[in-house]
A and B are shown apart, each in its own frame.
Chain A
């Protein structure tokens, strides 16, 4: 432990972090602080204490394991802006600001679990899995289904998210988001695509209470990819699959429309990349 106080723990190793997690169930786990600190300031959230993972070196960095990228949960988003996955690169490069990305982590983005968080559609489309570690061991769960409601995940008591595993795609992956400004904006809506071997998979942000994908959308996207369907078909399928919020930033109608546009554009990019489109 670099620092230990009744309301603050700063472990250096994963072991110390897990022990602290067990000892301090009420503490808020904080990595970069870029979500937690504004939460305390703006969203009236209170915390009983911090367990900071910021100095656990083992959680930072990316390795390759077989066909998967293993991204430590404490890896800063800035490091993902050069990731080998096009979707991750794009999502990371448009997250927050350059000054935020140096501290924001992939783990924080996942665990904060709001539907507009940048990295989530990419992880969902890419078929990512999560390493959840507790004092008793590690379990690996699909990211699909991990977020159960805005801000709510399947993380169990005593568990920490320790790594995100992302299949290394040989195909095409991309991400795009729409907002009301040209930099530094929360996604009004967002979308990610992965296409490989003629099959497209899409996922959406702020298209419902949790990151969203659907088999019907992927079927329509794949059909568009190989020319068996029209853009209008995909847009109609997306419109039926999503349930976006209505708020002062945008209407649900606009979001539904924009999700369809993004879906078509991303699949079209995948088709061009595969030499299938114009």
Chain B
């Protein structure tokens, strides 16, 4: 992958190095993989959300021509369980199935047709059990897993939660289950290696997590499990958990042949993790001027059958219920629970879109109750640098909440014709359409949290102006390959840069999630480039008899005291300079820890949405979304805009149309006819502006940007639809009938006698109870958080 010869450093809209192959259709994705002698693996899945397995008869399947292996849990040589945070999920069902679609057996055969026939020939005898599908009942129902039904319970308070202003508003909000719906279904190709190990090329977000979990199941040490990244067609959190990785490796080891598994779209819905659906109750109390006096919140997230990241997501949701507002007094509690519904885990935003939808609805309800301008209420309460969060952390980096709100105000409202609600269906009439304008402001934590190590490593080399960058950072479409190239150009003055395909030959980069890779892997690359540059300059200094301290690299030229000496490309002919550098964020700490904060950094975002609503039919057209986001230093303007626009549209999808509908534990819409993501007709004009306060501790002041746009888009679209309709709309996705039939309860407004906070109550988080079920086996590398 070679880039143009143009300068293309940090701050430039450098084109993606993988772009030419992608526009030619020549880029190789995981689904394009093939190998000589390759077998095809197919998964036998449970049709039941909850059942006991009385028997599995693989005799007929094994006897079929062309079938090379049929594996069940008894064929798993290593640990039968895996998982990102808790090791509670069987590699293949172990006596019980706990969700519809759970893998029960895997088959490898000479081709897909044979493998699918063999999969159908595997006879599984089930004793169907009652399915636990109500997360509220999960709190008290009999355990459906030896580890219990509660993944994590968090409960804390700060200040005096019983303090009151003149008014309280409270409501219960509901968020539906969103699917990452990346467009390339899961795929990977595993091969046995001559040393008795296994190698897999796979579309993933986290190579070393896959490596570790494959190692558990196969019983192989890490050095015998080689994971490399295959072309990834989108991820959005949905590839953070292991799906087919272990199965493909087990089949390759069992057959001695390369084995490819590629899911269908339906399997993809069944197999990967969705965004947690949840219910959030919030009560805000405020003074007459809109200043928040106290906030109380409770959250219940349905984690589905296995833990995945449920123990981490719940903390994000609960702690960020305060939003980007100063809240001195509060009480917060939440549970993520196990049910027989599909397992939920990471998806872009990682628990925060749920919180944001609820707290922003509350801010609008507060403004309405007090007859105040909703923007002014947000400005009144905006967090500032130096404030302390409800969870005890001081905001000691730029906290430009006011700035992102003010930045938005400068953007003019749209004029001119807009697309009619209902689009190509031609149902709407101009005269039936009402316009609404809504605002939302959010805070998203960036990088891993609560003590989970957030780190990356980069190996960089330079020879005759050509740089090679090697990390384990998964490129999933976001453009890290471009960022790495830009860093190498700026720091090293490289004329060409090759970003090597990530693999486990280099140390872990952590997951491509949590808006973290520019900060973690970008910084590792930056440090390695600095080290390589210093080696180059040392060599040049010796060759010219100069003091290395006077040498710099600028625009591809080595300079001595600012005077050009010559191009980097010819500074040391034939010499290769190498360096490997590691980066790790300062440690974070669990909620309630006295030692320090939970989170590495925060990103703030404000949006204003303009929608047109056909109120009679409940149809919506999102006309414009204006955004002002705290982005640190802009690394690549075009890629930044891509993250903002893409995130907004995913958030708008959750607000208006996207929901995995689960009935009695079964997904009723596991396809793209019935699971709707926005089309090109659905999307608004996006106006994107930025606040560019450099992030402390980061090279050039860059920071993560990928998640805040989605987080803010959910509440802002909902707010605009509320403004157009006058309806409370406490649930997303907002369905046409919610609007047309006025479904959804309004907030309860109560006028109260002011009760000042008890000054003796401590600021900062006080854990009210010990976590009911603390995360057990923490992955040594750290579980992800977003």
Contacts and interface: CB of A to CB of B under 8 A. Distances in A.
Chains A and B touch (C-beta atoms under 8 A apart): yes
Interface in A20-76: 38, 41-42
A5 interface: no
Contacts of B737: 250-251, 253-254, 257
Contact of A180 (B266, B657, B668, B740): B657
A183 B674 contact: no
B309 to A, nearest CB: 27
Interface in B335-378: none
Contacts of B671: 42
Interface string A187-201: 110100000000000
Interface in B649-700: 656-657, 661, 663, 668-669, 671, 673-674, 676, 678-682
A183 B429 contact: no
Interface string A231-258: 0000000000000000011110110011
B113 to A, nearest CB: 13
Given A178-B617, A178-B619, A183-B681, A93 B429 contact: no
A265 B423 contact: no
B424 A93 contact: yes
Interface in B627-663: 656-657, 661, 663
A162 interface: no
Contacts of A172: none
Contacts of B680: 183
Interface size classification for chain B? 35 or more
B736 A250 contact: yes
B741 interface: yes
A94 B425 contact: yes
Interface in A164-208: 174-188, 190
B617 A185 contact: no
A124 interface: no
A182 B735 contact: no
A178 B618 CA distance: 9
A261 B676 contact: no
B426 interface: yes
B617 A182 contact: no
A196 B419 CA distance: 30
A182 B425 CA distance: 7
Given A38-B673, A188-B736, A182 B663 contact: no
Nearest to A249: B674
Interface string B735-749: 111001100000000
A90 B682 contact: no
Contact of B679 (A94, A175, A183): A183
A262 interface: yes
CB-CB nearest 4 A-B residue pairs: A182-B423, A254-B737, A183-B681, A177-B425
11 contacts: A178-B425, A178-B619, A178-B736, A180-B736, A182-B681, A183-B680, A248-B668, A249-B674, A254-B736, A254-B741, A268-B429
Interface of B: 264, 266, 419, 421-427, 429, 432, 616-619, 621, 656-657, 661, 663, 668-669, 671, 673-674, 676, 678-682, 735-737, 740-741
Given A176-B426, A178-B617, A179-B422, 10 more contacts: A42-B673, A94-B426, A177-B427, A179-B425, A181-B423, A181-B657, A181-B678, A183-B679, A183-B681, A254-B737
